Amino acid sequence: MAALSSRILSVTARRSGLFTSIRCSSKMMADPLEHATGLEKREMLANMAGNDDPYDMKVFKRGPGTKDCPTVVPSAFEARIVGCICEEDSASVAWMWLKQGEPKRCGCGYWFKLEPKKPI
């Protein structure tokens, strides 16, 4: 009876995966790049290529901001929301929509222009 119960216990343990988890823990984790797909993978590849801001989310420094030389903002879309900190010490941001082909002037006088960019 004891031999039969130990055999049943052994078979049950093998089927329930108790030994499987021990075997898997000794393996190394796979490279995250191999598991990533779609947009996440393209973002990882852009970071590996040296582009740490593939979505252009960092703050752009304004240029002269005149109508002839507006601050250029890249976008892979037809329009993009842009915020202008009109004065250096300002605590608020003036938000506006920029559309492709339509340079826009902020209330403070600076001009912005959307430039087409290839999506990642």
> According to the binding rule CB under 5 A, does residue 98 interact with Zn ion?
no
* Stated length of the chain: 120
Give the 3-state secondary structure of 26-78: CCCCCCHHHHCCHHHHHHHHHHHCCCCCCCCCCCCCCCCCCCCCCEEEEECCC
- Partner residues linked to 85 by β-bridges: none
Instruction: Decide whether 84 or 98 has the Cβ nearer to Zn ion.
Output: 84
> According to the binding rule CB under 5 A, does residue 106 interact with Zn ion?
yes
Please, what is the minimum distance in Å from the beta carbon of residue 55 to Zn ion? 22
Among 108, 115, 116, 119, which residue sits at the site for Zn ion (rule: CB under 5 A)? 108
Q: Is 118 helix (H, G, I), strand (E, B) or coil?
A: coil
Query: Which span sits near Zn ion by CB under 5 A: 25-33, 51-59, 73-81, 83-91?
Result: 83-91
At residue 84's C-alpha, the angle toward residues 105 and 110, to 5°, is 35
> According to the binding rule CB under 5 A, does residue 93 interact with Zn ion?
no
Among 75, 82, 84, 114, which residue sits at the site for Zn ion (rule: CB under 5 A)? 84
**Measured between alpha carbons, how far is 108 from 96 in angstroms, rounded to an integer?**
12
Please, what is the minimum distance in Å from the beta carbon of residue 115 to Zn ion? 19
The residues binding Zn ion (CB under 5 A) are 84, 86, 94, 106, 108
